[in-house]
Homo-oligomer: A and B are copies of this chain.
Amino acid sequence: MAAYTRFFAYLTVVFVAFMFVNGLFCKNPMAVTADDFFANGLDKSGDTNNRLGSAVTPVAAAQLPGLNTLGISIARLDFAPYGLIAPHLHPRATEVFTVLEGTIYVGFVTSNQPDNRPNKLFAKVLKKGDVFVFPQGLIHFQLNVGKTPAFAISALSSQNPGVVTVGNAVFGSQPPISIDVLAKAFQLDANVVKLLQSKFCASA
């Protein structure tokens, strides 16, 4: 394998500092340190001073390079009193949600059921120390139903789980989805759709 090795050695001169895995840069293994497996700041509440009164602080491969290829990430979720994380889904991950402070009403809706039966909602009011599972790709939400701030930590089964907030994706995309589609799909008057689009556009 001598020729092959020389070929590698030559490339090493040019590419000494990095490689690519899953589209992210990888450090030279010799240069890796403990800090590549470390992140901080999850003790601090995110800024919930916004329309919904909630904040998400992710720790995924984009924030913590050592997670790349390892299939897991976490996030801290903060809620002002009555704060809401609006209905959303993770296209590539299941979420395990643990309440660390407060009282939170959570739920997810199943896939469409056979025979036109309605989608089922599985919901529950959670207290400190309670755990709930949101299966991959299903729409779910979390609402602080208490008078005090709440927070939780979530584990997600991907280093790059993604988030799709339903309202924003449907009514706030750029460019917008055509009004015909939205009016018919959501059984709304076209003017209501336009109003919603302008609201989501402003609140993005």
Contact = CB atoms under 8 A, between A and B. Distances in A.
Contacts of A84: 180-181, 184-185
Given A91-B135, A118-B174, A177-B121, A153 B98 contact: yes
Given A64-B131, A122-B37, A137-B90, A143 B72 contact: no
Nearest to A67: B133
B164 A121 contact: no
Contacts of A139: 164, 166, 169-170
A16 interface: no
Given A117-B204, A166-B166, A188-B196, 11 more contacts: A38-B126, A42-B130, A67-B94, A67-B133, A72-B94, A86-B184, A91-B138, A109-B164, A112-B163, A116-B204, A143-B181
Main secondary structure of the interface of A (DSSP, over half): mixed
Contacts of A155: 72-74, 96, 155-156
A192 to B, nearest CB: 7
B111 A94 contact: no
Given A11-B25, A96-B59, A185-B141, A37 B132 contact: yes
Interface of A: 1, 4, 7-8, 11, 17-27, 32-44, 52, 59, 63-67, 70-74, 82, 84, 86-87, 89-94, 96, 98, 100, 105, 107-112, 116-124, 126-139, 141, 143, 153, 155-157, 162-178, 180-182, 184-188, 192, 196, 199-201, 203-204
B26 A23 contact: yes
Contacts of A73: 96, 155
A61 to B, nearest CB: 10
A36 B131 CA distance: 11
Contacts of A112: 162-165, 168-169
